[in-house]
Amino acid sequence: MHRFYVPELSHDGVSQLPDDEAQHLARVLRLNAGDTVAVFDGKGREALACVESVASRRVTVKILEPRTPAPEAAVAVTLAQALLKSDKMDRVIRDAVMLGVSAIQPFVSRRTDVPRAALRTGVRQDRWDRTVVASVKQCGRAVVPPVLDTQDFAAVLASTSGRVRVMLVEPGSGGDVAVADVASLEGRRPSEAMVWVGPEGGWDPGEVRDAARAGVTLVSLGGRVLRADAAAAAAIAVLRYIWRDL
């Protein structure tokens, strides 16, 4: 069943697909009037629909009946991910969506190796948004989590106090700061949580200290160094397990 993202989904009548979704339906998949598809609004609603008309750049569908999307997680996890080089960031976003995150907060830390100028054009943000939608379609969710505006590490740290925050640190990188066993998070499932993952070059020791002081729980995922683009998915999967929220 092909799934299409229709943010302005009508509740019972006829909806028009956005341009890119219309083109995908008509030109790539070559579907026609009468075909059955699934549509979702990105806010959790999904429905079976019938393709009503296919013209160049204009495709309309008619809602048939509600359809159950993949379940949303109980813990609203925001992934705070230090900027990575382009394809690695895409991979992190794709995997995080698949593992049910509620939002992605990119940030710039001291060892971030991506020029901020690359962000100003908005090209990367557009690409991230498209990656999110593609992953949502593939994993069966009907919620499109936002990629928030990129901020500095300190700004994200300051603006998220009070939340349950978990920072993934490399083995031995805690310095004089205590690193918790991830198992210590068992038994208290929060309603929302923020998971912090550093850049390719790792955290600066000052950042780790600042985070600990601000009440962030530092955890390590074992004795081997995880690649920056694989760490978020491993951490989120384990946390979801710990919180009985897979």
Binding site for a copy of itself (CB under 8 A): 70-71, 94-95, 98-100, 138-141, 171, 182-183, 221-227, 230, 233-235, 237-238, 240-242, 244, 246
Q: Min. distance of Cβ 227 from a copy of itself in angstroms?
A: 6
Cβ-based nearer residue to a copy of itself, 58 or 227: 227
**Beta partners for 167?**
196, 218
Closest CA to 118 of 44, 126, 158: 126
Q: Which residues of 101-125 are buried (b: 16+ CB within 10 A; e: fewer)?
A: bbbbbbbbbbebebeeeebeeeebb
Length of the chain: 246
Cβ-based nearer residue to a copy of itself, 119 or 221: 221
Q: Min. distance of Cβ 241 from a copy of itself in angstroms?
A: 5
Cβ-based nearer residue to a copy of itself, 118 or 246: 246
Q: Min. distance of Cβ 52 from a copy of itself in angstroms?
A: 28
Cβ-based nearer residue to a copy of itself, 50 or 139: 139
Query: How far is residue 193's CA from residue 137's CA, in Å, rounded to a whole number?
Result: 24
Q: Min. distance of Cβ 91 from a copy of itself in angstroms?
A: 8
Q: In sequence order, what are the residues at sequence separation of 6 or more whose Cβ sits closer than 8 angstroms to the Cβ of residue 52?
A: 14, 33, 60, 61, 62
